[in-house]
Chain A
Amino acid sequence: MLNIKLPKTRYNTTTYANLEVRADGAPIPIAYGDLHGVIPICIDETIFKYKLAGHAIHAIDMIKNVEKTLVLGSDYSVGPGVAEFTLSSTPYLKALTLYYFVIDGSYGPSGSNYVSFKRPGGAGYPDGNLFTINAGGLWTSVPASDLHYRISGKANLGDQEVVKVNTTSYSTSLGIGLNDDPARTRLAQSFITGADAYYLTRVSLWTKRHGNVTGNLRITILSEAGAPVGTGEIRVGVQSMLQAINTNDVWHKYVMYFPLQNQEASLICNIEGANKTIGLPPPAAGATIIDGANVLEDLVVTRLGKTTAGLLDATALANFKTKRTQEIVAYVDRDTTFGEIVGKLESSLLFKFVPLHDGTYAPTVYEADTVEVRPHFFDEHFLSFSMQHDFAAVKTIVKVKYDENPGNNEFKVTEADSDVARFVYGVEDTLEVETYLKTEANAATLAADYLGMYETPPLEITFEIRGYGLNLIPGRDKVKITRTRAAYAGGALSGVLFRITKITKKPGTASTEIVAVLDTQTY
């Protein structure tokens, strides 16, 4: 199980035909916790649709580009499972191409409360035409008629804005209502671009309010291969512009500005990762998973597709959940294995993912014993016995890396420093621990915990006994040692606890070799 590769899915152009090139073949990330600085992948460059994770996430808290924080609704919309979003990009119009802008309102059909649009008494624009669209989506041309409008744009987003299309002058003006009749649920105006392509930055119209109409107007830019426009409508710039209705009851200029953005190479997002859907509380179902036990359970069930029953030891898992509540963030966007993720979790939360003899795994947390430890070995049990002071393990500095930025893969770092290791043992060795921890406080506590174990040489014993080691499990079980001679205070060991780190069962000699570390120097 430990070697199962994660993430299991990849971006490819079969699934995402318009995928941005740099993401082709990259893993689709797994996200847990409160992640800041995630770089989204554009999975459809034609409509500026982005993806953040290979599974549903709890929330997109923020999207920003180099200039500003984007606003949900006007700047982007969130897609399925919240792990996708689509930018409201500036429509980019090709040269010498026929386009349409379509207007609709948020108010219901009413002959007394509606908005009307000014139009010339005759054709006001030789290269286009006004259409009405009924509730069934049928487009009907209004002969020799155009709206009074003006389109502005920029060749480049940083350029000066200029008028690109303008209604010709006229002497008499008429109006046409929007949604004052079921035949006019929408209005559309066609136009042709000039010799140069440009970004459409605004559409200016002249409107008049009738009655007490309130709500929003929306303009959508469409392109289409052939008239009449219908089911083949293609939006140019994904999101339609939505803006409150002008309250003037006389003809008044009404301007709708399009957001000045295109496909972003510099988008970064703050997101909240996978929701809790199974297993241990808290958090409540539907909330973001932020603790190690729920991450472990979610990985096993949701990412690996297995069941926790018969795989994770329920008692140990519940205890792990209770004892290790530190906040976790993980953005798995590189090829890794379940075992590597678990290993990093172990480093982060000081527990061991112990394989038991019945095929289950026990996420085991170090705890002081509350019951008598078995077995207890005495002089007569040992076929051999030695003790080691593991000087190579002594560390003066413990550097804990936490809260990795998913965008640039840089960690925040906190350090703990030991005067004892530096002064008494004269070394300057550094232990670097990469974690999934979120907060500096937890990282600092972890660094201090590691230093407590490694600022002096860990005391390790190696001994051989008759038999096959009972059902002892390395990483979980302890032994108590009493020995009349030892390199220990007083020259003896008297019921001293050691935690087993290695067991070698030797059928040839019907004996077992056990390696164990002084209990207070393990986790």
Chain B
Amino acid sequence: MTFNPDAITQDLVWLVEIEVALRLEDVAWIGAGSSYPDCYYVAHPEGKPSRVKQCLKSTGGIVTYAPDMADLATCQTTPSSWYWDGANLYVHTSTGDPPDAGGGSGSGSGSGGGSGSNMFLINSYFWENISDRPVDLFVDSIWHPYRPLLDPSSIADLSFEATQFSTGGITQSFGSVRALNGDGYWDSRLAVYVYEGKRIIVKFGKYGDAYADYVKLFDGYTGGITWRDESVEFDIEDPRRFQE
């Protein structure tokens, strides 16, 4: 049944999806074998990436890899591509060099610098899904569990205003999204993954609806993060700050 947002009921479900980045330039990549000399892989327990991007530091050029090749052989013949085998992420860089070429000196903290003298910066992205109650939603042919960590009362007002006359421009204000952290779920994740400056989508719908029936409330970017023992607050940033 299609969700009608004007007929709000007690069965509302709130979803928050954040496209988290994982910095991969400093991890130990493994050659995919002599048949695929330009492909390298690494375990990717986060699941199938939503995107993989590369920055060639010598030029500053940023490339989004061609998504999920049909097989490793296709990845081998396609520079700037990736392939997911269900457990490992394979990449073929734009130059064919190993993703960790240059031997960087990473900090070991996902949000803490690194990259050193690496030839590339490489990020994989995946969606972190949370909701205000346990739900599994069928998205892109896969069932996605949504962790019940969202505090929907924390979703603050979002305002958008077009100013008039001489001042010009658009003013926007943004709130934040708070997630529960009583079990320490976010403790190490905030260090391992990059949550700042990432796509965040807030949706709501009726419990039991299909994913396609959920209504998008907001699609923007995260900003700063405040961590406490009991909760984590993701600020929402003005999307005009971002270049994507």
Binding site for B on A (CB under 8 A): 385-392, 394, 417, 419-420, 422-429, 452, 455-457, 459, 485-492
Contact = CB atoms under 8 A, between A and B. Distances in A.
Task: Output the residue of A386, A426, A452, A490 with the most chain B CB within 10 A.
Answer: A426
A420 B116 CA distance: 10
B192 to A, nearest CB: 8
A420 to B, nearest CB: 5
Contacts of A452: 113
A394 B197 contact: yes
A486 B225 contact: no
B123 interface: yes
A391 B123 contact: no
Interface string B171-209: 000000000000010111011101111000000000000
Contacts of A388: 224-227
A201 to B, nearest CB: 59
A302 to B, nearest CB: 42
A251 B244 CA distance: 88
Q: What range describes how many residues of B lie at the interface? A: 35 or more
A420 B121 contact: yes
B173 to A, nearest CB: 15
A389 B60 CA distance: 25
A389 B234 CA distance: 10
Interface of B: 21, 23, 53, 55, 57, 60, 62, 108-109, 111-115, 121, 123, 184, 186-188, 190-192, 194-197, 221-229, 232, 235, 237, 241-244
Contact of B111 (A429, A456, A490): A456
Given A420-B113, A487-B191, A392 B62 contact: no
Contacts of B242: 426-427
Contacts of B114: 420
Contacts of B23: 424
29 contacts: A385-B228, A387-B227, A388-B225, A388-B226, A389-B190, A391-B196, A391-B222, A391-B225, A391-B235, A391-B237, A392-B223, A394-B197, A419-B55, A423-B55, A425-B194, A425-B196, A426-B197, A427-B242, A457-B111, A485-B229, A486-B227, A487-B186, A487-B188, A487-B227, A489-B108, A489-B188, A490-B188, A491-B184, A491-B188
A385 B226 CA distance: 10
Contacts of A486: 187, 227
A489 B229 CA distance: 15
Which 6 residue pairs across A and B have the least CB separation, nearest first?
A491-B187, A491-B188, A487-B227, A391-B224, A423-B55, A487-B190
Contacts of B113: 420, 452, 455-456
A396 B62 CA distance: 15
A363 to B, nearest CB: 28
A427 B243 contact: yes
Contacts of A423: 53, 55, 62, 121, 123
Given A423-B55, A429-B241, A491-B188, A456 B112 contact: yes
Nearest to B57: A419
Contacts of A394: 196-197
Contact of A391 (B62, B197, B243): B197
A389 B111 contact: yes
A523 B196 CA distance: 23
B224 A489 contact: no
Nearest to B188: A491
B227 A386 contact: yes
A389 B195 CA distance: 10
A425 to B, nearest CB: 4
Given A427-B241, A456-B113, A489-B108, 5 more contacts: A457-B224, A486-B187, A489-B188, A491-B188, A492-B187
Contacts of B197: 391, 394, 424-427
B108 A428 contact: no
Nearest to B244: A426
Contacts of B21: 424
B109 A489 contact: yes
Nearest to B192: A489
A145 B229 CA distance: 107
B217 to A, nearest CB: 22
B184 to A, nearest CB: 6
Nearest to B226: A388
